[in-house]
Amino acid sequence: MFRFVFRLAAMVALSISVIMAVLDATRSVAASALVMTPLNTSWLAVSPDTRSAFESFVRDKVNPLLWDGAIAWVLSQPGFAVFAMLAFILYAIGYRRQRPSGRFAAT
């Protein structure tokens, strides 16, 4: 059951990654230059309230150094790359290995 949830979340993250990549590709063609939109810019364009609420939650409840170090770095990366890595990690968690079959397989 949990593997299905992780694989479903991976599919959603991959879908978001593809949508963001298509948007960046369209902007790159229109600008005749490479355009890679940071995740922070995309998040602020979609929902600035949740972005500020997330920042205040991390700064107040968790640790301000976490925001300044890790989260700020992740938000400065291209959005399609962040969601592609998230999809890969979620898929790896939900991956079901094939059982070895054959003459010398361990039982």
Dump pLDDT digits (tens) for 26-84. Answer: 999 999 999 999 999 999 999 999 999 999 999 898 888 888 889 999 999 999 999 99
* Domain extent at residue 17: 1-35+80-96
C-alpha R_g of the chain: 19
Residues 62 and 84 in one domain: no
78 and 40 Cβ atoms separated by less than 8 Å? no
Q: Whole-prediction pTM value?
A: 0.82
How many domains does one find in the chain?
2
Residues 86 and 57 in one domain: no
